[in-house]
Amino acid sequence: MTDLPNDRSLEKYRRMLRIRHFEDRAEAIHAAGEIPGALHTYAGQEASGVGACIALRTDDYMVGTHRSHGHPIAKGAKLRPLMAELLGKATGICKGKGGSMHLSDFSIGSLGETSIVGSGIPVAAGAALGSKLQGNDRVALCFFGDGATNEGAFHEGMNLAAVWKLPAIFVCENNGYAVSTPAHSAVPVKDIAERAKAYAMPAIIVDGQDVDAVEAAVTEAVERARTGGGPTLVETKTYRYADHAVNMGRILLDRGDEVDEWRKRDPLTLYRARLTEAGVAAATLDTMEQEVADEVADALQFARDSAYPEQAEAFDDVFVDRLPIPDYLTA
Amino acid sequence: MTKATYLEAIRQAQHEEMSRDARVFIMGEDIICNVFGTTTGFVDAFGVERVRDTPISENGFIGAAAGASMVGMRPIVDATIASFLYPAMDQIMSIIAKSRYIYGGQASLPLVIRTCLFYGNSNAAQHSDRPYSMFMNVPGLKIMVPSNAYDMKGMLKAAIRDDDPVLCFEDSTCWTSKSDMPDDPDFIIPLGKGEIKREGTDISVIAVAGAVPLALKAAEVLAKEGISIEVVDPRSLVPLDKPLILKSVRKTGRAITVDPAHQTCSAASEISALIVEQAFDALRGPVLRVATADTHLPFSPAIEKALYPTVDRIVAAARTLVGAAQPVSA
């Protein structure tokens, strides 16, 4: 466990708070119709994302998933462009062309939050290969869920990283469900970590509700990767409180009192207790929470004040050069 | 000026670009043993870090090329045979084609995927595909289909220097054809620039990849009958040199599109639609397609070869078209 309290501990708490507040606000305005499309929330998994990302340097790479709000915030992204993206605005991090499933901020090392399950894993292996070929010591960390580990992309990416000893860290955020399908009915091994054996890859299982534990596990993996020791699979045991996506209706099987049980080990509650025990004043934490709430409110105001993209923008960034705009849009 | 084959042109283009730019590297299955002769001497020249044999895992290593390109490398992936792109469709379609767009221009993917159109040699349906037109249906991928060694070298060098992802389809029926090759290390043919391979006045034959040499042979046959064929080679399908095609059709008033792909939704179909939409007033007859029938390719040579475009089929289409020609009203 890291020493408490210190700036790093407070930063972990701040980033978890940012994710929770950002999503709570997003969910509310989504329900009010202000955010189009689907919204896949990360609530419950904050310690996994923050613990993993805090173990990285800013210039390390990170690839995430369709549950894409938590990862960039955990890596240190600014909130304004993220919220503007949710609203489909031109000031959005992806200029309004990615939306909720693709909040990817390249300025903090993120290389994509991809919404095809498992598809980020080969990309992360390739980013790690890029580091190796360039002779730098950057590592590439990839988040994915338990469901992704049944995809070919997982096995191909793990295999490639293992045979080439790439500086990659594969973080499986095992939240127990692939959309509505429980992991126990789709994964024949007890722990995802067992799958690393097939690639002679070290694996670590960690309590995904404990941000310090996740940080410690990922730090070990990062050190191995950075010093030429190759990839590691880290499995964080975690849980998402919401359904797969908040506008898809009740597609999850009845989880009984499971959600309430997991909420008893809410990562923010646990960490606040730990910080308090270590002597951080409640007022300090309350102030931080208010600051974060203000930050989210500011981001939402910025998003609301921003313009939507021009129609012509639909033809930009398909290639380096903008495509011609068809007549039916210019007439 | 020395002559080089189509395969040698690929080797030269890669060698020159890897020598010029340390960010360029090549990977794929069996690169080091050099299956088709496009990486001869590469390990000695560039070492095993930049000349990488991959596990058989097309989705994995084509996706890895995407990741490497996003962090500043310029990968060339040798995917050996075109059908091997299918296991990698996820990475090609969802990551490589869309990342620049979906992340609002933050991502850049300067990579080349090379693969061979390996048809006409009794290799049965799973090894005989010509799938470039499938990839034309998704935005974000540049697609080159060179028909001779000269074009191959100039375009592949352009592709390696291009900041967009490029699929390079290499027609095995052109492998042994030779061209005079310029010595200029910066010899480049930009993607999107087609070429008139033969001037003519009666019919524009717009031919794709290995169909270009067939169209040129058909033009010889037809010239003896007094039918003058203009052979148009788009050289790349995305971007497509629409002005060149339309200008030729406006000159001749007739068009045949020839394409080794399956006919339905082929490149020939798209080019035909372009002509009908934008040069209908110049047409003196229907636009005809000479493509491969919509069946799988059989193993038996007795029934395989006739399914592809042939010189005879192009000649027959031209005769039909001239015979059916209607004068343009004044």
Give residue-wise pLDDT tens across range B100-147.
999 999 999 999 999 999 999 999 999 999 999 999 999 999 999 999
Q: What is the pLDDT of residue B328?
A: 53
How far apart (Å, rounded) are the C-alpha atoms in residues A140 and A142? 7
Chain B interface, mutation test: which of A91, A95, A97, A129, most B Cβ atoms within 10 Å? A129
pLDDT exceeds cutoff 70 at B324: no
How far apart (Å, rounded) are the C-alpha atoms in residues A222 and A204? 12
How far apart (Å, rounded) are the C-alpha atoms in residues A292 and A287? 9
Q: Which residue of B has its CA nearest to A117?
A: B90
A192 pLDDT band (50/70/90 cuts)? very high
Contact status of B139 with chain A (Cβ, < 8 Å): yes
Give residue A273's Cα distance to chain centre. Answer: 24
Contact map slice: A 51-80 vs B, CB within 8 A:
61, 63
Q: What is the CA radius of gyration of chain B?
A: 20
Mean pLDDT of B295-307: 97
Q: Which residue has the higher pLDDT, A179 or A123?
A: A123
Interface touch A123/B63, C-beta < 8 Å: yes
Mean pLDDT of B28-42: 92
Q: What is the pLDDT of residue A5?
A: 76
A193 pLDDT band (50/70/90 cuts)? very high
Summarize pLDDT for B203-260 with one digit per residue, the tens.
999 999 999 999 999 999 999 999 999 999 999 999 999 999 999 999 999 999 999 9
Q: What is the pLDDT of residue A2?
A: 46
CB-CB neighbors (< 8 A) of A63 in chain B: 67
pLDDT exceeds cutoff 70 at B1: yes
pLDDT exceeds cutoff 50 at A328: yes
Chain A interface, mutation test: which of B101, B103, B167, most A Cβ atoms within 10 Å? B103
Q: What is the pLDDT of residue A256?
A: 85
Task: Tell whether pTM > 0.90.
Answer: yes
- Count Cβ atoms below 10 Å from residue A304 Cβ, excluding itself: 13
pLDDT exceeds cutoff 60 at B82: yes
Of A117-126, A133-142, B30-39, B99-108, which range is least confident?
A: B30-39
Pairing of strands B112-117, B74-81: parallel
Contact status of B29 with chain A (Cβ, < 8 Å): no
Name the strands in the sheet holding B51-53, side by side, starting at the edge strand that comes first in the sequence.
B51-53, B24-28, B74-81, B112-117, B166-171, B142-144, B236-238
Can you say whether the dihedral through the CA atoms of A55, A59, A65, A66 is positive or negative?
positive
CB-CB neighbors (< 8 A) of B71 in chain A: 61, 111, 126-127, 130-131, 134, 138
One-letter amino acid at B200 equals: G
Summarize pLDDT for A304-320 with one digit per residue, the tens.
999 999 999 999 999 99
CB-CB neighbors (< 8 A) of A159 in chain B: 55, 57, 60
Nearest to A85 by CA among A101, A64, A70, A62: A101
Interface touch A317/B49, C-beta < 8 Å: no
Q: Catalytic residue numbers of B?
A: 127
Q: How far is B109 from chain A (nearest CA, A)?
A: 10
Contact by Cβ (8 Å): B250, B267: no
Q: Which residue of A has its CA nearest to B56?
A: A156
Contact by Cβ (8 Å): B50, B41: no
Q: Which residue of A has its CA nearest to B98?
A: A318
Q: What is the pLDDT of residue A22?
A: 98
A1 pLDDT band (50/70/90 cuts)? very low
pLDDT exceeds cutoff 60 at A129: yes
Task: Determine the length of chain A.
Answer: 331
Task: Determine the length of chain B.
Answer: 330
Summarize pLDDT for B174-216 with one digit per residue, the tens.
999 999 999 999 999 999 999 999 999 999 999 999 999 999 9
Summarize pLDDT for B302-318 with one digit per residue, the tens.
999 999 999 999 999 99
List B53's β-bridge partners, or say none: B28
> On the CB side of A152, how many CA atoms lie within 13 Å of its CA?
12
| B239 cis-preceded (ω within 30 degrees of 0) | yes
Contact map slice: B 86-105 vs A, CB within 8 A:
87, 90-91, 94-95, 99-105
A3 pLDDT band (50/70/90 cuts)? low
To the nearest whole number, what is the mean pLDDT of chain A?
95
Contact status of B46 with chain A (Cβ, < 8 Å): no
| A5 cis-preceded (ω within 30 degrees of 0) | yes
Render the burial of A56-83: b for 16+ CB within 10 Å, e for the rest.
Answer: beeebbbbbbbbbbbbbbbbbbbbbbbb
Could you tell me the two tokens for B78? 């040798």
Mind giving me the DSSP string for A128-154?
Answer: HHHHHHHT----EEEEEETGGGGSHHH
Mean pLDDT of B22-27: 98
Give residue B16's Cα distance to chain centre. Answer: 21
Summarize pLDDT for A50-85 with one digit per residue, the tens.
999 999 999 999 999 999 999 999 999 999 999 999
From the list A98, A156, A159, which residue is nearest B103 (CB)?
A98
Q: Which residue of B has its CA nearest to A124?
A: B67
pLDDT exceeds cutoff 90 at A330: no
- Count Cβ atoms below 10 Å from residue B252 Cβ, excluding itself: 20
pLDDT exceeds cutoff 90 at A250: no
Q: What is the pLDDT of residue A197?
A: 98
How far apart (Å, rounded) are the C-alpha atoms in residues B99 and B217? 42
Percent of chain B topping pLDDT 90: 96
Q: What is the CA radius of gyration of chain A?
A: 20
A4-9 long-range CB contacts below 8 Å, 24 or more apart? A4/A274, A4/A275, A4/A277, A4/A278, A4/A279, A4/A280, A5/A275, A5/A278, A5/A279, A5/A280, A8/A54, A9/A212, A9/A275, A9/A278
